[in-house]
Structure formats: structure tokens, C-alpha cells
Structure 1
């Protein structure tokens, strides 16, 4: 325990004027923590109630229970570990408790949003047009005024694994379809457990993006306009909260002394509810914000975007093909001009290289944007950056199939190619278990490639555990680089 008290000050002088201060460090809320895992914490903005998910072993039809702990009302959502799927609270609004529910049917995860009254515990589905979550987890938060839900899920056209989406409530009480919060906020990594402050602009969330102190760190950002896609650069909440473990589910009520969050010192272990002394000044948003649809952005002549296809190692310009649906364009000089940011996914191909899929969005800047392709010549080793697995398991994240489909495509285009899949972990934990986990993950990838029609004799695999690092294992940021799946071209 530190003898002196440190204070972390954050000044937000953007659209929303805010002053946030933490005093001291986080401490566990012993009355709420058990030997079970606590996760996905939310608070009732008009009472002392809170809700969170508690991991349990066993089988039961019960999904929630109401208790009183030290005078505080607690709604427990039970995540039965032996049952595929999960539940997690979203928040309280107008007497309802909103929550996420994910089930597994016919080998596919399906997510939905529900609500119930705590007195009846009779859930009803909330109708969200075209709602689709493909991940086994789903988290979120409903704003204090009930106008917005921020949901973390893996849907179509995500930037990585779980992305953050906004769902806006219409004046008749129904809900709009979910809109991605954009590339300024979402990354190829996971953005989870969002919390929207009462100004409806300041957003807190957890992410395992590079640069954090642990496996998941807590960040905040501020919305800059009504599009919900323009955000200030996310800022880490700092070492008073974030540790080398995993911190998620940051929440507070306006004017309260304490902010709460969930912390786990091992990314695969159970979480504890923590609290930290907290002061804030964020003005409540009373303006009516109209829904702003995402539309195709036409570019002026001076803002033209050029895609320049190059070799990832030599940076030599490559003749290439651009595929957008049924449209195919040949770029003999390796240059493609983009005249609109349509949000479409396009594929870039060049003979003898692994194709790449990119999104026509605001990540592309005026002028030349290099698109680096990896050679598939014999001896080439290519890291599959977007082939990811759920924590501590060999269960592949569904979005990984997009990159593996490119591997399948290049093997179909080049029928003589044979590849060796390589699985790697960092050096934390039991070395034997790390090798076993990396071998299991390689097996999962191999089985998927074979299931797409590639002959088994063309695909071999091996797990190396943490024996072949490509970066230091001293920090979490560099350890993440060592957790990877590669393939080596052993015959072309």
C-alpha cells in the first residue's frame, strides 16, 4: 500500500467539458467478490442497485437472481460455465433491466438483446433490426436517458474482433439498427465493456490494443459530432487503475464518490469488483441529437485516394487486381484511384502473393496509401495477424475465417503450394501447456482450411509454444506479438 495519495487528472476541453480525478489506487469490494468470477458490471443511475455476471459451474435454467448485499440491491446474472453461451447486463432504464444473451445453435453463436422487470424476471427480446453478433461474448451499456445503447460485438464488417456499436432509440420507442463507431475508435483487437457517461459523449471502454499495461486496459474517448464515428484519440486511464492483468467494466454514477470496475490479475482468471475514489464534472446532455446515417463520402479532386500495391519486403510496386463485388479492375502499374469512401470491402490480388482485403473507409488518407502484400515463394513465412482465438482456448474467433479464406484462395490459385502452419504463444505460464495450446490452435486452423476443400496432404502444422519469440516477453505490449499463427510455404 502506498503511503502517499497520488491524483490522476484528466481535462477534456472538447465538445464536453469534463474534469476527472482519481485518488489513490483501486481496492477490492470484498462484500461483492466471491471465489466465482465477477464480470460485466453496471449500475442503476437512479438507485443503489448494481448488476453483474457471476461465473458458476453446474447446469441450471436460472439466468438471474436478486439479492441484497450490505444494504445494496444486487442483480446477479449467472453464467453457467458448462453451458455454451453467456448473459451480461447492459443497464437499467424506465424500470427495465436490459441484458445481452448469447446462445450456441448448430455450431454457431447467436447474440441478442433482451429486457426484463426484476419483479417478474420474464425476459422479452428487444427488436433491433438486422442485429447480428457472431462472437460467444457480448457486452454493453444503455445511457442514463435511455436514448442509446453501446454494444460490443463481432458483427459484419468489423475492424477486428469485438467492435463497439451504437443503437439509437427513435421517438416512437423503437430502435435503429446498430452502427459501427468507426476506425478512430475500433481496432483489429477487442473493444469491450463500454460505458457512456451521462453527457452521452464521453465513452469509457476496455481494449487489448497495443500500448496497454496488461491484457486489457481501460480507456476513455469523447465523441466529436453527431455521426458517432468521429472520436478523440482514446486515452489510457493510467496505472492507478490499469495493471499487468485485465481491467474491464469501468462504471460510475454522476456525483458519487466511487467509480467501480472489474480487475483480474491473470487474463484467464476470475475477476473481482474494485472501487476507486473518484471526482468528476460532466454536464448532462439535454440536446436532441438526430440520427445521422452513414453515407458514401464523395471525394474532391484534391482529396483523391490512391492505393499503391507493393511487396511487403522489397516495397517494389506490383501489378495487381482490385475486386469489389462483381467489379474487377486491373492495375498494371500497381496504382488504383479511389473516388469515394463507400464502406465496401475490396480485395487486392497480385500473382505470387497472399491477397489482402481492405475497407474503403476513413482510415484511407488523401494521396498514396501503400498496400503491402506478402510473397508466397518457397520459404516465405507469413504471419496471419487476424487469426485470433478466444482467451486460453483453441476456439477460433469467427472473424478469423476472413483471413483464412484468403489462404484457401491462394492455395486454390496455386495448386502446387504446400504450407506448414506454426502456432506460437508467449512464455508466460506452464511451457508444456503452452505447447499443447499452440498445437490445438494449429489443429483448429488446419481443420478449417481442409474443410474448405484443400487436400490434407498440402497442409501440415506444428505448435511451438513460447520457444520462438519474435519480440521481448518483458511487457504485455511485446508479448502480444509473440502470440501468433504463421504459415510457411514449404513447396511452391
Structure 2
């Protein structure tokens, strides 16, 4: 069970108890409530006190007990209506603190500061609580600053289709926002059980798909036994929507992170992430990077800087994760940090913290970070009001384009307890991200193809990501930081590979490319274009960026020893016809020479230059001319 989710973030569902109140019986309800109260079982005591309050609303002791129960269960605002009744007869100085907290959460910061100071004077200066009042006062001062300069955003409740009368929280989305997963403690929880600690239903994971704008399908259980009779919470979703990281409760203090991958329409059985990430301690939250090579997670393991700290692991070339890197004191503080989210831009990290300059409880902060090393490049900044409030603000995820964010909060007009909201910027700030998505199909019959997508940074020749299409639909989603020249290679068993080139400068901001990729079988007369084979201007000299693509062709030739191919060169219509013919022929031969140097039998290779004689587009625009300047592979035989 995610402790602060239940104990610190969410209000109590007062009807969820294990013993039954007795309607109209004041004495027995007070007696039973006091029995739980004296045992510090405030969740169980509260329903009895509330039932007794229906009979007598003048009992100041009862009002005090109700207020205390609400505070002990971290639902301070609900205590506010009972405070005036409680102070009629009670002289307990704790009432000053209760009032201060209620005013604080209502953003009445000056009133709260006055009462915090008055309550502080009743405390021993050596007590930890005395110093806590300094923190509360500092939170109020930060709140006053942030409210003077609010962030211009529109915040919308996702509505009754997604939200229920129960806690709904921890939303995660695919990069293209077509899929939403979230955690809820609603009555149809798997097994129907309730947690003995707080009387609420166990957490389950639910799934919904976007119809349009902010309209979503009815949430359904994620299926395939992912949800158990205990706590199961979603914490992260890969950009392509096909890998879920989830939390499962284990033991009294611990909890681990698991991974489940989607195959077709079914989620596989979750597997516990390795011991680099999970420990005998508590690992409640995580986020996976767009290249799926880095995981940011939180843990309260020994050796950290505070209660819960943020760590990062990076995948090695063999697919294993390297050692956990504790992010430095720029991010982690002596207090708690949690709920990291790494944006698809590959550099902006969002997280929640109690230790940085916040309005109260957890506030959301952001900074830039080196995804390879974990080095913090810019200091964390508060994301601002009204996104942050004086209450806990956690679980905040952006769409890939940076226009919308999804988060959970208790706000006026909600449907009950925590609800899920969407935030939209009034002035869209485009994230420097490329979203490449679509469907992979067979050219012959258009049926979906299960393929692997390799993404290479052509400037470094390093593979920056390996992704898969959905085995049932053929759909794929790849999210990449902008500003690089990417070579895309799509590969599937029994097919020629297909290549794409994506090259957008950083300043272009968010780019979304939708493409249906048609895969050709290894059949005679089939041709493909080598989109990532490049030559020096007006020369037949292969540029270094061509190596990855040519090596893919070498691999196909080695795996299919009977395959014979023709390499053909093509130009646009600019320049002298004879020159273009010779240039295209020389470029085709340069590719053949590369393959021979890699050990391919020359008898399996032919080449020909076609100059400008076989255009695939009219030579009327720079873009069309660029497409006509190409190198092709044609299968001659495959006996």
C-alpha cells in the first residue's frame, strides 16, 4: 500500500468501516467511537462520532473528537466546520493549530501564520513540533508569493466517466494521449476487500481510451489478473503505451515496483523489477524515459539524503540495468521527494517534494537533467499556482507535445475525494519533441505486422532506442527528443527492412509524424529505398551516417545466402543528364563496394545508375527533388 496515498493524500470515506454505527443512539455511538479513539484508531472512531453528532450538535467534546479524527486521518479541511463548536468549551491549545491548518489549506495565509505563531508559543522550544511551525509559516509565505503571480492554465475535471465518489488518482498516459491508466479505490475492487488500516477499498488499476478531446471510454479493469486482492497501483506508462510500471504492496513497510508488457490486447503477468531498483525497503513511484533506457524511481532505502529520495538507473547494452544513481542534493532534500516524471523531451524532470520551497505538503517542481549521467543541469523550480496548492500535489504527467498535463487533486466541484484533472496552457509551449506514430502493415494484404523499430542517432551512430509495434494492431508510437538526425529502421521476420529519416532542428519544437509503414516480403522484383544512405555533395563518397543502414543490408544478405540484389542510383533533374547518369552509377557502385568489403560475394550484387530517368515525384519542389535523389535495393532472386 502506498502509505502517503492513503494516509496523507486522500480523505476518509466515512462509511467504510468494519463495525456498524447505531442510527439515533447517541450514547452507544459515542462509547464505541471513544473505544477506537483511545486506541488511536481514528478511521474507525470517526463514523460513530459523526452518527452521534446527528443527535447532539452542542457537545463540544464530541466536536473536538471529530475534528481530531479528521486531522489524524489527514483530512484537515473536513474538520473546519467542527472547530467553532469545539472551542466553545475546550481550552486545548491544539485548536489553534487546527484552525491554522484549516486556514492554510484555504489559502488564508496571513490568518494561518498568526495562529501558527500563537500555537508555537505553547510548545517547548526543544520539541520537534516547535520547529515544524517554522516550516508551516515558511510554506504560507511561499503560497503568498506564488498566488501573486499565478500560472495561466485551464484546469478541467475529466468528469464522471473517469472519476467516481471514491479516490481516483495517479494518472498515466501514452505519448499520443490515446490511452489513460489510473488507480482507484472504488467498490468494485478485485476481491471486494477493504484495507484494515483505513477501512477503504484496496487499490486497483483501470484503463480507458480517449474518444476525442477530454472524452474517454468507461474505465475497465486492466485485466489478465494484474489486479490482486491487495494494493495494485499504476505509476508509469511507456510512451508507446505498451509497458506499464506498477506498484504492489508487500509486507508491513515495504512495496515493490513491477513491469507488465502489453501483447496484442492483453497485459502479461507483472514481473518484479530487479534488485537494482527493488529493495527490502519502500519503492512507491517510477517513470520511464522515452527511449525506454532510463527509469527514475523513489525509495526510502538506506544511504539516501532524506525520507524518500529519487534515484535513476540506466540500461546497459546487454539489456540489464546499471547501478542505482542517487540524484544529488539539488533534487533530494532531508525531507521526502516522490512521483518523478521524465518528459518525452528527454531532459525535463518533474517531481514532488516536501523539502523544496513549497506552499505546503508536496508541491510539484521541475528541472533539467542529463539522461545519461543523472547530473542536474538547472535548479528545481516550483511549477506554480494554481497547479500547486497548500495541500499535497503529486502524480503529474505531461503529454508529449507539452500542451496538457494530467494530475489528481481534491478541488471544489469534484465527484468525491481525489479526482483526475487535465491542465491546458493558455499559451501553448511546444515541447522540443518528435512523435512518430502510425501502423505497420504488410504491403501484400495490409494485415498488421509485428515489427521492431530501431532508432539511431546518425551523428554518433549509436542506437538510441528499440521499440515494437503492437502484435495485434500493428500500431506503433515512438517519442524522441527533437534536434537530432535520426535513422529509423523497421524490421520484421520474412520482410525486407524499411527505413525512414527524421531530422528536425531543436527550435522547431513539437513535431508529430503519422505514417503507415508498408513492409515488403523477400520476393523477386521487390524494391526498397535506403533513406539513410548519404553521399557528399555531387560525389560518390559515402558519408559516415550511412553505416547503420548499410550494415542492416549486410545482415539481410548474410541471413539469406541465396539472395541476389541490384543497387540502383537515382538523381533529380538538376544539372547535366550525362553527369547525373555517371554520378548515380558511381553512387550505386559505392554501395556495392561497401557490401563486398563486408564479405558479401560480388556474384550476388549488381548495380546500375538511372540518373534522372526514374523519378518517384515531379521535380518541381526542393522536397520532391530530395525524394528523387535516392539509392534503391531491388531483389533479383531468392532461390
TM-score band by shorter chain is 0.3 to 0.5
Q: Which has the higher helix share?
A: 2
Tell me the TM-score normalised to structure 2 length.
0.37
By relative contact order (CA 8 Å, sep 6+), the higher-ranking structure is 1
Q: Which has the higher strand share?
A: 1
Larger radius of gyration: 2
Tell me the TM-score normalised to structure 1 length.
0.47
